[in-house]
Amino acid sequence: MTGDVGVLASGGCHIFSGCGFPAPGLQDFNWKPFFSIGSFHFTKPILLAIVAALVVMVFFWAAFRKPKLIPGRMQSLGEIAILAVRDQILRPSLGRKGDSYLPFLVSLFFFIYIMNIMELIPVLQFPVPSRVGFVWPLVFIVYFLYMYLGFRHQGLWGYFKTMIPAGVPWPIYIILVPVELLRFFVFQPFTLGVRLFGNMFAGHLLLTIFTIATWYLLSLSVGLAYAAGSFLLAIFVFLLETLVTLLQAFIFTTLTATYIASSVEPAH
């Protein structure tokens, strides 16, 4: 992170003190590396992504290490988590036949959710998907699975044939082919990734703006009222983000489930 927030933290930068508002921006998403190996820089978002993966793995390992008929506290929590994904995300798209994809969808949902919620946890306070480089690998994994399942269940030709609905006159096919190809290979994965990235990026920026503004406006003047307003907005955005973090993980996983469904069942 650049020095803006550092200057604020040192307490010198307030309204009417001759200090301009240090508006947050792209620089607040760039982190100084903890260490570097050649051109590879190990930064805070990488650390948070690893922590998120570990949290998911350790939680489910602890919950189902020794499953019992009468579940303990951890197992009950794990079961609630798995059933929530199964009943709200998997079953509505794939039905009972799709239960074999449950481990993938549960992992995906909680990995994204933990990465998102880190935005709201003090000290961590950074949503990993607000760095778009962490989103594209997830999109790639989903899209690779989507295509692989499509080819496996419908064959190469059959898979591409399902992209355009049957029964349309052949000249229409020629018109639609560029649209369909671009939608399938470019815009569908693009919107899948950019939605997650954009929401987390914007949310973090809003939180940063109102938090810094609260501190900046804090002074024994009319600024105090503005600071109070800014503080209320920061609280509001915080509460909003608790929903957005969950919603974005939900949307990403639901769309993944619907993509898998359309690959496995072409008529879906």
Partner 1 sequence: MSNHGNEAVTNEAVTRAQEQAAAEGRAQGLEIGWTVFSYLLAGMAAYGLIGWLVGRAVHVALLFPFGMLLGLGISIGYIIYRFGRQPGVGRPVVDRPRKEITGDR
Give me the residues that bind partner 1 (CB under 8 A), please: 87-89, 91-93, 165, 168, 175-176, 178-183, 186-188, 190-192, 195, 251, 254-255, 257-258
From 262, 257, 138, 249, select the one nearest 193 (Cα to Cα): 138
In whole angstroms, the minimum distance from the beta carbon of 180 to partner 1 comes to: 8
Helix (H, G, I), strand (E, B) or coil at 42: strand
SS3 label, residue 118: helix
Q: Which is nearer to partner 1, 85 or 212 (CB)?
A: 85
Helices 223-264, 102-117: crossing angle, 10 deg rounding? 170
Q: How far is the CB of 128 from partner 1 (least distance, A)?
A: 22
Residue 255 CA to residue 92 CA, distance in Å, equals 11
Let me know: does 263 contact 94? Beta carbons within 8 Å.
Answer: no
Dig out the tokens for 103 from the structure: 């481990």
In the complex, least distance from residue 4 CB atom to partner 1, rounded to whole angstroms: 35
Least separation in angstroms between residue 261's CB and partner 1 is 9
Min CB(87)–partner 1 separation in Å: 7
Helices (H) and strands (E) in the chain, counts: 10, 2
Collapsed DSSP state (helix, strand, coil) of residue 35: strand
Q: Burial letters for 131-140: b for 16+ Cβ neighbours within 10 Å, e otherwise?
A: bbebbbebbe
> Taking the complex as a whole, how short is the minimal distance between the CB of residue 212 and partner 1, in angstroms?
33
Q: Where are the beta strands (DSSP E) in the chain?
A: 35-37, 40-42
User: Minimum distance between the CB of residue 102 and partner 1, rounded to whole angstroms?
Assistant: 15
CA distances from 106 to 55, 85, 95, 114, 184 (A): 13, 6, 15, 12, 25
Structure tokens at 20: 């301009």
